[in-house]
Amino acid sequence: MKFLLVAGARPNFMKIAPILEAFRQHQETRPDLKVQLVHTGQHYDSKMSDSFFEDLGIPDPDINLGVGSGSHAQQTGRVMIAFEEVCVKERPDWVLVVGDVNSTMACTITAKKLGIRVAHVEAGLRSFDMTMPEEINRLCTDVLADLLFTTDPIADRNLRREGVAEEKICFVGNTMIDTLLRHRDRAWSMPLPEGLVDREFAVLTLHRPGNVDSCETLTTIFGAIGEIARHIPVVFPAHPRTIARLKEFGLFDALQNQQSIRMVEPLSYLPFVGLVMHSRMVLTDSGGIQEETTVLGIPCITMRPNTERPITCELGSNILVGTDPERIKSAAFSVLNGSVREPAIPEKWDGQAAPRIVDRLLAQ
């Protein structure tokens, strides 16, 4: 049996790592089992890609498509053209994709048109917001995939409502949490950036087009963050897209001169998780960080109008506040005043999602 595993962008790497590892364990007793890792090259900076391979012990990709940046159509098209050649040459039995990035959708469409079966890890998440490129990627991927591995029962319900056959849906848990639990201790012992004190700083991440591509929204968000930063220092590992927009809108220099908002380069996995673990709270528009903070028990203030991960609000430490500056500040101040809910950990977020996925695939 031959599997091609696809990863393209930063949030894919922590999801693919434990799946590769679970396959490796089966390969010890199954010499017929072939597994190849394909990196599409959607993310290519060493800080967005290579450093994650090093931190997570992921072997070098067998194939790198090297597609790089571009518009959505350019990036998706380039992945499809390059991945088609790989599929024709390698003839895998299965292609496995993770998450919701452009590479996920592009490889799914390509494989299905060649009659190759597709498994989607992290299926069924829905923000119901069609202005998000990720929502379009999720819908296209899930309508085509043959096996849909889900992280929670809400995702199962979404898929059933869309008419996905029951036998295709497989609730396995969360491979991103497999990685988190595996590396938690190492992350905790990473040195904090100089001058930061345990629990006495907040972490900020911001990269969604909906937030950073509009000068008005970005200015509003940083207005609120500036006021929060008067009460607690804020560390901001900045995504390349956000840096580019800050420069374009003429906001970069002023932000860099702010003492209490410390803008740093994107961090690799272990230093970032370590930073979050030692923080008082996280302010973010990321998807995966909502899940990681739930498991780590760190309050998470999500600056988006919706989330495809509602379980983190229902059970976890996530508070959805949108981009209204008053709501952002009020959520942060209530965390600072000690009003913090004890989060529960969602079912099957137990570090064993990847073995469940591989067992199910090998039983096909």
Nearest to 318 by CA among 326, 210, 117, 308: 308
Task: Tell which one of 134, 142, 152, 308 touches ligand UD1 (CB under 6 A).
Answer: 134
Q: Residue 101, interface with ligand UD1 (CB under 6 A)?
A: yes
Q: Residue 43, interface with ligand UD1 (CB under 6 A)?
A: yes
CB of 256 to ligand UD1, least distance (A): 18
DSSP state of 131: T
CB of 293 to ligand UD1, least distance (A): 16
- The phi, psi pair for 326, rounded to 5°, reads -65, -40
Based on the residue annotation, tell me whether 239 is a catalytic residue of this protein. no
Nearest to 95 by CA among 72, 130, 63: 63
CB of 144 to ligand UD1, least distance (A): 17
Report the C-alpha gap between 144 and 32 in whole angstroms.
27
Please give the size of the binding site for ligand UD1, defined by CB under 6 A. Answer: 20
Task: Tell which one of 48, 144, 313, 340 touches ligand UD1 (CB under 6 A).
Answer: 48
Q: Residue 207, interface with ligand UD1 (CB under 6 A)?
A: yes
Element (H, E) at 287: none
Q: How far apart are the first and last CA of the chain?
A: 10
Task: Tell which one of 77, 153, 240, 305 touches ligand UD1 (CB under 6 A).
Answer: 240
- The phi, psi pair for 192, rounded to 5°, reads -80, 150
CB of 76 to ligand UD1, least distance (A): 9
Among positive and negative, which fits the CA dihedral 99, 75, 289, 55?
positive
Candidate segments 56-64, 169-177, 214-222, 238-246, binder of ligand UD1 by CB under 6 A: 238-246
Q: Which is nearer to ligand UD1, 97 or 311 (CB)?
A: 97
Lookup: tokens for 122: 């992290």
Nearest to 99 by CA among 309, 360, 256, 311: 309
CB 218 within 8 A of CB 249: yes
Task: Tell which one of 26, 44, 140, 215 touches ligand UD1 (CB under 6 A).
Answer: 44
Q: Which of 207, 231, 239, 278 is catalytic?
A: 207
CB of 255 to ligand UD1, least distance (A): 18
Report the C-alpha gap between 84 and 52 in whole angstroms.
26
Candidate segments 81-89, 99-107, 168-176, 342-350, binder of ligand UD1 by CB under 6 A: 99-107
CB 121 within 8 A of CB 90: no
Residues that bind ligand UD1 (CB under 6 A): 9-11, 42-45, 48-49, 69, 100-102, 133-134, 207, 239-241, 244
Catalytic (active-site) positions: 207
